[in-house]
Amino acid sequence: MPPDLLSYEQAASLIAENARAISESRRPSIERIDLAAAPGRILATPLLADDDQPPFPRSTRDGYACRADELSAHVPLPIAGSTRAGQPPASPLPPSSAWEIMTGAPVPSGADCVVMLEHVEESGNTIQLSASRTIAQGDNIVSRGAQSRRGDQILSAGFALGPAQIALAASCGYSTVEVFRRPRVAILTTGDELVPVDATPGPGQIRNSNAPMLAALVARCGADPLILPTAADSPEALDAALAQAATADLLLISGGVSAGTHDLVEPALARRGAQFHFTGVKIQPGKPLVFGQIPQSAESQKQDKKHQGKTSVVPTSAHTDERASASRSNSIPFFGLPGNPISSAATFLLFAAPILAALSGSRETHPRFVLAQLARDTDRKAKPGLTRFLPALCTFNRSANALPQVATIPWHGSGDLTAFAQSNCFLVIPEDAAHLDAGSTVRILLH
């Protein structure tokens, strides 16, 4: 184990390297589900266009289909017919005429533009382009096959299926889709001070808030959380708990990873044959963070072999160490997260979520950083040496030309759940920053 703590950037780079190796060395098994049940799942096989899209030249406006050169003469053109959306393509457009058309309707052959209703002057059964307007070939028409051709790949594997992807699949007749199986994430909370949520804490005790919080974060990432019984601060309890977690795809351990005499998680992991990638990061909150991998149980390896025929594997590159790849495919990534809830949440978002995304088969394996403007009444001093992630509230503007505004929330350390619940992001203070000026552009981590 390295004696020195990693910087955030060093740790993030190592996480990205491991996420990439997981994506290359193993993929979860595939299952077919109804499209209605697919939101939030990860697409396992590409979607192909079942026909040209659009299957006919389509009008994007209510107006009149015409020939651009005839309409541009600014002379009256008789209306030869009309077509609504849902009707079959019209007969060819007669010379020197216009065809009334609705949005989504097929454009008659011979027409090369559609003029908007509000850009013409109507008189009886004729239209004329307004004097101040111009029109060009192709205006307001999507030509047949402009979006895709029959058989084209329109969406690759690894995309999360959201509203846009669901709509695309539906447009091509996919009533079912193939998705990756959700990873199983074991959540182990440790500590003699923890009691169940429905219990009344005694002196020196607290309710276990980290287990349901981590389960919610895991579920939001599209995985299946498995909350294990809380482990007492003893080697025997931890050994038994880790044995229960040995069939999961990812293990999250909350608490017991600091350097105190009762922080027994790292020795327990070592007894399970753990390989440690790092055991601390120069961040606040969340410095006592542990990341590594432990061997899978024999039962879990049998399950992987059972699904091997249904598993999609991406070939490794020529530079990938085959032994390291085999080790990853026969091991369980784990994170020893700090016990304080804000520390646990921040380190999950920064480090565990990217690994979980790779285990899910997702192409999105990075934390969600965005830019914002530090609120005018917010002035932050900082002590260089640690990358800090402070609970903050981001307010989004009605203007498309302004960055969202972010302000920190007063908090009393990384156990302050009230502050965390009132936040929707973390303000990022770089390791080398001594001061952030109000009004400056900053990075935030969304949660």
Dump pLDDT digits (tens) for 172-195: 999 999 999 999 999 999 999 999
Instruction: Please give the model's pTM, rounded to 2 decimal places.
Output: 0.85
Q: Within 307-366, where are the H helices? A: 322-329, 341-347, 353-360
CA gyration radius, the chain: 29
CATH T-level assignment (fold) for domain 369-446? Beta-clip (2.40.340)
Specify the pLDDT at position 288.
92
Give the pLDDT confidence score for residue 260 in this predicted structure.
57
Domain 8-29+182-360 has CATH 3.40.980.10: yes
Task: Say what the pLDDT of residue 328 is.
Answer: 55
Distance of alpha carbon 393 from alpha carbon 406, whole angstroms: 6
The span from the CA of 293 to the CA of 295, in Å, is 7
d(CA 222, CA 44): 14
59: which 2 tokens?
A: 């009008």
Cβ neighbours of residue 154 under 8 Å, at least 6 residues apart?
46, 47, 48, 49, 53, 148, 168, 172
Q: How far apart are CA 22 and CA 161, in angstroms?
A: 21
Rounded CA gap, 208 and 254, in Å? 10
Res 298: pLDDT = 53
What's residue 398's pLDDT? 76
Domain 58-142 grouped into CATH 2.170.190.11: yes
Listed in sequence order, the residues at least 6 apart from 418 whose beta carbon sits closer than 8 Å to its beta carbon are none
The single-letter code of the amino acid at 82 is S
pLDDT at 169: 98
Q: Say what the pLDDT of residue 310 is.
A: 46
Q: Where are the domains of the chain?
A: 8-29+182-360, 30-51+161-180, 58-142, 369-446
Q: Which residues of the chain, if any, have pLDDT below 50?
A: 1-2, 307-326
**CATH T-level fold of 30-51+161-180:** Molybdopterin biosynthesis moea protein, domain 2 (3.90.105)
Q: What is the pLDDT of residue 302?
A: 53
What pLDDT shows up at residue 234? 93
291: three-class secondary structure by DSSP: strand
